[in-house]
Structure 1
Amino acid sequence: MNTRKKLTLFNDPIYGFITIPNALVFDLIEHTYFQRLRRITQMGMSYLVFPGAHHTRFHHALGCMHLMQKAVQVLRYKDIVISKEEEEALYVAILLHDIGHGPFSHALEHSLVTGVDHEQISLQFMEALNKNFNERLTLAISIFNDSYPRKFLHQLVSGQLDMDRLDYLKRDSFYTGASEGNINSERLISMLNVANDQLVVESKAIYSVEKFLVARRLMYWSVYLHKTGLAAEQVLIRVLQRAKELIAQGDSLQASEPLMFFLKRESEVFDQTALKHFARLDDHDIIQALKGWCDHSDSILCKLSNMILDRDLPKVKLKNKKPTSAQVDKHKEKVSKALGIPMDQTHYFVFEGQVTNRAYRNDTQNINLLSKNGKLTDVAGASDQLNLKALTREVTKHYLCYPKGKHY
């Protein structure tokens, strides 16, 4: 029998060559569950605002694994003991941390699949893979779900300064062209250390940490929560809401088998059957469905689908105050008259909501600076930048979306 020579390198536009550390990681990357991430856009509908943002969860997962290799190397150099088994588990945990994302990542997380978030689905994928790989993922799973005694290992996977954030800020900055997120991830990793079983940063890296937190805040307001991208995601959510409503009324819609399973699904129990269908669901199922629905006899589904495909998105007002009922009703009345639909269906085209941004949560898990004498200080307290303390406060903005004037 012919044996395949296993690929050991990926050429990444951010870091250069990424090395696959061992055969287990290679086999996980080759698995159909992981290959699906090639078809899951990292930034949802943001490509409608930033044309270059077509990178995928596959790119991101490999980048995170690369940074984890750097982190392990740095910590070992500083005499932090990490066994071979723990090292492999870290690589597996960070590689698979986003494997549970659905189509367009966060955009449809709580609408297409209800009752479960992507972290829980990631865990179910990992448990399924663990059975296929003779329980070799057991340690990785315990690190991922924070049940492993050495807590700093989990913080490398999921924390305030984890490999996930260090990659996505730099990667999303690169692909969107938004320089605000271009952090120095290698500098931050080189300053990592461990104290009292907690991941810390050496105090001389305080300005790099400040830059990281400010970059995170700016990327959220200017990119992740960009009002046009926000509107596009909300329209996509409403397309699927309408599709579910029509199916419940007995309408037969065109959709792939995995997508139809979730459009018809009533139970919020995410069992093995749901996992099987989810493993075949990606961005292409949604786009294919939109193309089929853009000529549907239902005017609402038809118009919403075309709004996404043609990038004919609603006008968005993003303000500090919540819009009044009178403001919302004014636009709903216009839509009802212009489109000839009853008032109780205008919520598909006129809608409001809110978004929040908090760059640093010092109430749950701090980023502590380690001084030469061993003292630990929270970065917000140690910083001489007044705006860093402001980043610990949650900022809320309210949005109102409604069709542009040409549709009235």
Structure 2
Amino acid sequence: MNKKKIFNDPVYGFITIKSDLIFDIIQHPIFQRLRRIKQLGLTELIYPGAHHTRFHHAIGAMHLMSRALDALRGKGIDISDQEYEQAQIAVLLHDIGHGPFSHALEFSLLKGIKHESISFLLMKELNNHFDNGLNLALKIFQNTYERQFFHQLVSSQLDVDRLDYLKRDSFFTGVSEGSIGLERIISMLNVVDDNIVVEEKGIYSIENFLNARRLMYWQVYLHKTSVSAEKMLINLILRAKELTMAGKEVPASKPLQLFLANEYTLDDFQRNPDLITSFGGLDDYDIWGAIKFWQHVDDRILSELSSRILNRDLFKIKLTNEPLSKKDLELLRSVIVETYNLRKSEARYFFAHGEVTNKAYAPESASIQILSKKGKLLNITDAAELPNIKAISKIVKKFYLCFPKNVSLPLNS
């Protein structure tokens, strides 16, 4: 009956759960599912230590929210106990709508539906279960609560979500370039005109935070081998979906079978509560279990892609500064058709192309404001002695092409 539980977190040490409601939310099956979804998808194929889950991240982000709110209270910002608890809940549940392998399968299992929309629907489910006890958390999550800074702590250019995932992903991957001055950043937060600002003394910690985020994108989140693995997984799921919707038998768990066999819209989820319940039963294990079955099915494409992923026989990937021409792509398609004896329409499963972008800071969406010692607010890009910030704000775009290693590349450009 003792709900004042303590988590021993490898990044922050002991995290105490002081709220009975938060403890009950964590215990709910919808939240426990996050234990079975890896935070970094297939990145463990590159960084073997990256086995941490969305559960770890959600607990960590909630902990950082409490530390940020404590810091603000210490500076005289009025925060009620209800606001404190509900802000913790809002960030605890901010990623609850992620499906298997997080971002990798966001638009293949559910076409055009963002995980934030699913998060909101699952939060509403929990709100009903807990007798409307999450009403304020839902407002904070949606940014409809009048005190806007609470939402900014959940989702902004400088939020506790980003602070936790940078610290945590750096820790578990061993990529030290992602290390940030977490204590310093949190201690320098303040609120002016209902907006989160950073006191001038913390400006170099913010510069380090943005630079660390840029480096983590290239070294971890957009690592070329990780991109290749994710594109293979997406092609695999699209093939399984194509076969299932054509009436072919594709072995899968009941919830996975449902989403392979149907194309649902957000309206479908809003009209049918059973759909969100079924999606809430999906996790990485559904996919891995299916892949182990699929390596032995008759469909050669599904079988080959499954075996390759299981055995880490990944597509080769090339990154370029310019997109490939249509002529080059058609040449590659022709070689794949010939190499694997496929129909032209099937060749798309054996290569992938597109672009990846890295923008550590996007001031046009919501800038980070610096509070000077004289009480003046400055956009961080305009702050003195920080030329790096303007460089970090620029979008860096690269184009990728993934294809099997045994396929020779007949490209002209």
Q: TM-score range by the shorter chain?
A: over 0.9
**Separation in 1 of the partners of 2:263 and 2:90?**
31
Counting only pairs closer than 5 Å after superposition, residues 260-339 of structure 1 correspond to structure 2 as 260-268=257-265, 269-270=268-269, 271-339=272-340
User: What is the identity, as a one-letter code, of the residue corresponding to 1:331?
Assistant: L
Gaps of 5+ in 2: none
User: What is the identity, as a one-letter code, of the residue corresponding to 1:128?
Assistant: E
| Segments of 4+ moved more than 6 angstroms | none
Structure 2 residue 191 is matched with structure 1 residue 194: yes
Structure 2 residue 274 is matched with structure 1 residue 259: no
Q: CA deviation at 1:213?
A: 0.3
Q: CA deviation at 1:407?
A: 8.9
Distance 1:78 1:316, change over 3 A: same
Q: In structure 1, what is the equivalent of residue 75 of structure 2?
A: 78
**Separation in 2 of the partners of 1:309 and 1:396?**
30
Q: In structure 1, what is the equivalent of residue 20 of structure 2?
A: 23
User: What is the identity, as a one-letter code, of the residue corresponding to 2:232?
Assistant: V
Q: In structure 2, what is the equivalent of residue 146 of structure 1?
A: 143
**Separation in 2 of the partners of 1:274 and 1:320?**
42
User: Contact conserved, 1:100 with 1:120, CA < 8 A, in 2?
Assistant: yes
Higher alpha-carbon deviation: 301-310 or 282-291 = 301-310
**Separation in 1 of the partners of 2:5 and 2:183?**
22
Cα displacement string for residues 302-356 of structure 1 (whole angstroms, at most 9, x for unaligned residues): 1111111111111100111101223323322222112111222111112210111
Q: In structure 1, what is the equivalent of residue 164 of structure 2?
A: 167
The size of the alignment, in residue pairs, is 405
RMSD: 1.3
Counting only pairs closer than 5 Å after superposition, residues 7-156 of structure 1 correspond to structure 2 as 7-156=4-153
**Separation in 2 of the partners of 1:374 and 1:111?**
48
**Separation in 2 of the partners of 1:385 and 1:150?**
30
Counting only pairs closer than 5 Å after superposition, residues 226-265 of structure 1 correspond to structure 2 as 226-265=223-262
Partner SS state of residue 397, structure 1 = strand
**Separation in 1 of the partners of 2:29 and 2:245?**
32
Using structure 2 for the length normalisation, give the TM-score: 0.96
User: What is the identity, as a one-letter code, of the residue corresponding to 2:382?
Assistant: G
Q: CA deviation at 1:383?
A: 4.3
**Separation in 1 of the partners of 2:377 and 2:188?**
14
**Separation in 1 of the partners of 2:125 and 2:345?**
43
Using structure 1 for the length normalisation, give the TM-score: 0.97
Higher alpha-carbon deviation: 164-173 or 258-267 = 258-267
Q: Percent identity?
A: 52
User: Contact conserved, 1:328 with 1:351, CA < 8 A, in 2?
Assistant: no
